[in-house]
Amino acid sequence: MSSISLQSRLPRTYRIKEIVQETEMVRTYTFDGSLGARPGQFLMCWLPGVDEKPFSVAFDDGSETKITFFAVGPMSEALANCNVGDLVGLRGPFGTSYEWDAGDHIVLVAGGYGAAPMYFVASEAVKHGCTLEAIVGARGKEHLLYLEELESLKHVSLHVSTDDGSVGHKGYNTEVLDQLLEAAADSDAKDPPIDKVFACGPEMMLQSVLTVSEKHSVPCQLSLERYMKCGFGICGNCAVDSSGARMCVDGPVVKAEDCKKISEFGKYHRDDLGKKHEF
């Protein structure tokens, strides 16, 4: 089935068409339908009888949808136990997406499973004549995701960093970002200047991306993760202090200038009861 569901606020069940075990804890599921998602948007995935949680879209080509997830809690662990042919409810797509202009030179900063939506960005942006620098970071070699897929795209240069130095730059991906922006700002640089920085990963990494991008005066777009329930802006669970912006509607992808209005950015997030938890 490939028709786009118009009832985006009511889940509809799709069958799992393919399962790829990416790393020990990370899997990619392909579903037999498209919801018309753009890079950066998310879906609510419902496991009947268990729970429903938000997942960023790893790919949507108009006929099928992919999510890449880390089995981290009861819902995603139950999801990880599913098999090909099992039913998963999807509703969405929800939220904002990354925005670029044709021909842009973009740096992608991916931390952990943030690599999946960054691959989705790259695969769409190259169609608009963009050139991309993809920096993929993880704790170690065994946690790196989407390297082959990113490498297979024309006009995408891959940069890798690992905390333990098992492959690529030893250290944080934001250090690589700093080097790339520094080099591009050099008037003798052979590459065109960087137009935008997109990032998806842990919030402390995003905070660093914001700082580094601002230092080099390059606009950035960051994907923020907050506890979601409805997904369409009514329950208020994902609203951030102090702007009150709802991350399911006004996010998850937030531009630098809007991110700076979020006083809780890099400090705390709220749980399903609205209680604050520090990062």
Partner 1 sequence: MQTPEHAMNLTQTILGITFENPTVLASGILGITSSTWKDVAKNGAGAITTKSLWIKEHKGHPNPTIIETEHWMLNAVGVPDAGPTKAREEIGDFMQKQPVPLIANIIAESIEDYGDIAAEIALLGPNAFEVNISCPNIEDEFGRPFACSAPDAAAVTKAVKAVCGNIPIFIKLSPNVDNIGEIAKACQAEGADGFTCINTVGPGMAIDLRSRMPILANKVGGMSGPAIKPIAVKCIADVYAATEGKCPIIGTGGVYTGEDALELILAGASLIGIGSAVSRRGPEVFSKVCEEMQYWGTNEGIDNISDMVGGMHKELSKRK
The reply to whether 278 sits near partner 1 by the rule CB under 8 A is no
The reply to whether 9 sits near partner 1 by the rule CB under 8 A is yes
Neighbour count for residue 142 (Cβ, 10 Å) = 13
Instruction: Give the separation between CA 232 and CA 128, rounded to whole angstroms.
Output: 29
Query: Closest Cα to residue 252, out of 173, 199, 197?
Result: 199
Say which residue the tokens 């704790």 belong to: 139
What would the x/- binding string for partner 1 be over residues 177 to 216, using CB under 8 A? ----------------------------------------
Give the shortest CB-244-to-partner 1 separation in angstroms: 3
The reply to whether 83 sits near partner 1 by the rule CB under 8 A is no
Query: Closest Cα to residue 66, out of 93, 99, 48, 47?
Result: 93
Taking the least distance from each CB to partner 1, the nearer of 8 and 213 is 8
Neighbour count for residue 75 (Cβ, 10 Å) = 18
Largest CA distance in the chain: 60
The reply to whether 51 sits near partner 1 by the rule CB under 8 A is yes
The reply to whether 87 sits near partner 1 by the rule CB under 8 A is yes
Name every residue whose Cβ is closer than 8 Å to that of residue 190 and which is 6 or more positions away in sequence.
Answer: none
The reply to whether 16 sits near partner 1 by the rule CB under 8 A is no
**Main-chain phi, psi angles of 123, to 5 degrees:** -65, -30
The reply to whether 50 sits near partner 1 by the rule CB under 8 A is yes
Taking the least distance from each CB to partner 1, the nearer of 117 and 231 is 231
Beta bridge partners of 131: 105
**Distances from the Cα of 151 to the Cα of 88, 119, 190, 201, 212, angstroms:** 30, 10, 21, 20, 25
Give the shortest CB-85-to-partner 1 separation in angstroms: 12
Taking the least distance from each CB to partner 1, the nearer of 202 and 233 is 233
Q: Where are the beta strands (DSSP E) in the chain?
A: 12-21, 26-31, 42-47, 51-60, 65-70, 87-94, 105-111, 131-138, 156-162, 169-170, 196-200, 220-223, 253-255, 268-270, 276-278
Taking the least distance from each CB to partner 1, the nearer of 7 and 217 is 7
Among 240, 247, 253, 254, binds partner 1 (CB under 8 A): 240
Which of the stretches 150-158, 165-173, 202-210, 266-274 binds partner 1 when contact is defined by CB under 8 A?
A: 266-274
The reply to whether 17 sits near partner 1 by the rule CB under 8 A is no
Taking the least distance from each CB to partner 1, the nearer of 47 and 194 is 47
Among 169, 243, 255, 266, binds partner 1 (CB under 8 A): 243
Among 188, 273, 277, 278, binds partner 1 (CB under 8 A): 273
Among 19, 126, 230, 256, binds partner 1 (CB under 8 A): 230
**Distances from the Cα of 72 to the Cα of 26, 113, 160, 245, angstroms:** 10, 12, 24, 27
Contact residues for partner 1 (CB under 8 A)?
A: 7, 9-13, 44, 46, 48-53, 87, 89, 91, 229-230, 232-237, 239-246, 270, 272-275
